[in-house]
């Protein structure tokens, strides 16, 4: 039997077992299958089952004030998203583009008219549960799942205060969150009038098949404009390293060869420590661009050991007040390699 047929057979054979497991789970009885793991414990289920739905099902009880949220924001969020949620560096701005008028209509005018050059989180947000849930599960980006429920309430309230939805003396809680939902600028902005969710809807494309005088080749309608190519370093190296789909090379192209493979390990080291989340190769993000660092230490003899130490231990004060966290898990040789790579101009 060929491998793929064997695989198909094993899938077919596994199916009744899976159905039986689902049946047992639905009956609430412990699974008795041996050799295929064990039933999840209640604690494991609780840790996994954290989603908050648009009707607020799943939302834990709690509360947090705008003032407390401001402290959390400034300590744990502002370094990436900007003091007022306006930063465009790590992600499109969280705040901006909404008006008091939008709060009345529930539909962000700038979105409908396309008058803003980009879309902030607050412009798009139609369900408050999504903001709460996302912060709770994914933020701060470098330390997700570390905020308590009360802290998530607080920082959510602060974001809404920055967006002029909530007053500064507000305390957001599970008891009043529905009334705040009713104030969201884009609460009516989500459409279901297309075939994506409703079986009766029409698809949201309106193309008709071309039958004559058709173009020889398709024209790509969306592309990265030249002025934006270098703005976040080389995307190719950052996010598309799985499977066959490679990101387009952006940013300045480097010609230096690396024949000895001296820096072969750099890519996995920078990925593991998320260096490029905070540093552009040629541009300041949260921390200085690596080319700026190379420039600054060009004539310093001890730069390599100094930078290696700093990369391992973190610290602040050289480029500004924002600290670099310590990079746990980098040994001395790794850190020296990274320092050398930066000082040599980040060769590919
Ligand atoms: C180290 C940088 C960093 C820090 C610190 C950080 N974020 Fe983020 N944040 C990001 C990045 C990167 C994304 C986009 C992530 C993605 O799309 O996968 C993001 C996305 C978000 C979004 C979603 C935006 C959208 O429109 O989808 C919100 C809301 C948010 N962050 C809130 C917070 C809050 C609140 C904190 C502090 C508790 C925080 N962030 C701390 C980097 C950071
Ligand atoms: C959470 C954000 C963040 C991450 C992740 C991060 N850095 Fe930094 N880095 C910074 C900040 C902020 C500074 C500026 C610190 C200062 O002013 O002293 C900095 C400074 C530096 C410097 C210059 C130090 C000096 O004293 O001049 C180097 C080199 C550097 N980082 C390399 C790295 C490398 C390599 C990694 C990955 C292993 C990394 N950084 C990860 C934020 C970060």
CA of 227 from ligand 2 middle (Å) equals 26
| Residue 129, Ramachandran bin (φ over 0: left; ψ between -120 and 50: alpha; else beta) | alpha
In residues, how long is the chain? 348
State the closest ligand 2 atom to the C-alpha of 319, by its place in the atom list counted from 1.
Answer: 17
- Would you say 276 and 284 are in contact if contact means Cβ atoms under 8 Å apart? no
- pLDDT tens for the chain, 348 residues: list them: 344 444 444 444 444 444 444 444 445 555 566 778 888 999 999 889 999 999 999 999 999 999 999 999 999 999 999 999 988 877 889 999 999 999 999 999 998 888 887 889 999 999 999 999 999 999 999 899 999 999 999 999 999 999 999 999 999 999 999 999 999 999 999 877 777 776 776 776 777 888 888 888 877 777 777 777 777 677 666 654 455 555 566 665 454 444 457 888 898 899 888 899 899 998 899 999 999 999 999 888 899 999 999 999 999 999 998 999 998 788 999 999 999 999 999 987
State in Å, rounded, how far the first CA of the chain is from the last one.
Answer: 45
| Residue 208, Ramachandran bin (φ over 0: left; ψ between -120 and 50: alpha; else beta) | beta
CA-CA distance, 267 to 49, in Å (whole number)?
34
CA of 139 from ligand 1 middle (Å) equals 6
Token representation of residue 231: 């703005």
Residue 312 beta carbon below 6 angstroms from any ligand 1 atom? no
Tokens 């980098």, residue?
A: 330
CA of 9 from ligand 1 middle (Å) equals 44
CB atoms within 10 A of CB 34: 7
State the closest ligand 2 atom to the C-alpha of 342, by its place in the atom list counted from 1.
Answer: 29
Residue 94 beta carbon below 6 angstroms from any ligand 1 atom? yes
- Would you say 124 and 102 are in contact if contact means Cβ atoms under 8 Å apart? no
Tokens 């949260």, residue?
A: 286
Token representation of residue 9: 């057979």
User: Which residue CA neighbors atom 6 of ligand 2 most closely?
Assistant: 275
Tokens 């039933």, residue?
A: 39
């Amino acid at each position: 039997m060929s491998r793929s047929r064997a695989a198909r057979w094993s899938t077919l054979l596994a199916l009744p077992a899976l159905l039986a497991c689902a049946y047992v789970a639905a009956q609430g009885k412990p699974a008795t299958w041996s050799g295929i793991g064990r039933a999840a414990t209640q604690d494991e289920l609780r840790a996994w089952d954290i989603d908050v739905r648009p009707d607020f099902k799943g939302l834990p009880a709690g509360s947090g004030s705008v003032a407390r949220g401001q402290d959390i924001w400034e300590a744990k969020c502002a370094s990436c998203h900007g003091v007022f949620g306006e930063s465009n560096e790590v992600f499109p701005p969280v705040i901006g583009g909404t008006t008091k008028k939008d709060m009345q209509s529930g539909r962000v005018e700038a979105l409908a008219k396309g008058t803003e050059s980009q879309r902030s989180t607050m412009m798009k947000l139609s369900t408050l549960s999504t903001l709460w849930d996302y912060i709770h599960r994914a933020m701060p980006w470098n330390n997700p799942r570390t905020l308590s429920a009360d802290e998530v309430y607080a920082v959510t309230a602060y974001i809404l205060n920055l967006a002029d939805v909530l007053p500064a003396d507000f305390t957001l809680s599970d008891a009043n969150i529905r009334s705040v939902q009713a104030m969201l600028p884009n609460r009516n902005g989500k459409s279901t009038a297309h075939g994506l969710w409703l079986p009766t809807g029409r698809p949201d494309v309106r193309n008709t098949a071309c039958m004559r005088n058709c173009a020889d080749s398709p024209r790509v309608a969306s592309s990265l404009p030249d002025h934006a190519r270098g703005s976040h370093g080389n995307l190719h190296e950052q996010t598309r390293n799985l499977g066959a789909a490679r990101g387009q090379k952006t940013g300045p192209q480097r010609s230096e060869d690396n024949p000895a493979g001296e820096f072969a390990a750099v890519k996995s080291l920078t990925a593991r420590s998320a260096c490029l989340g905070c540093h552009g190769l040629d541009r300041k993000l949260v921390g200085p661009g690596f080319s700026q660092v190379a420039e600054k230490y060009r004539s310093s003899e001890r730069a390599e050991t100094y930078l290696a130490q700093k990369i391992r231990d973190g610290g602040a004060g050289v480029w500004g007040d924002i600290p670099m966290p310590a990079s746990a898990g980098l040994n001395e040789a790794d850190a020296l390699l990274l320092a050398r790579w930066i000082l040599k101009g980040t060769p590919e």
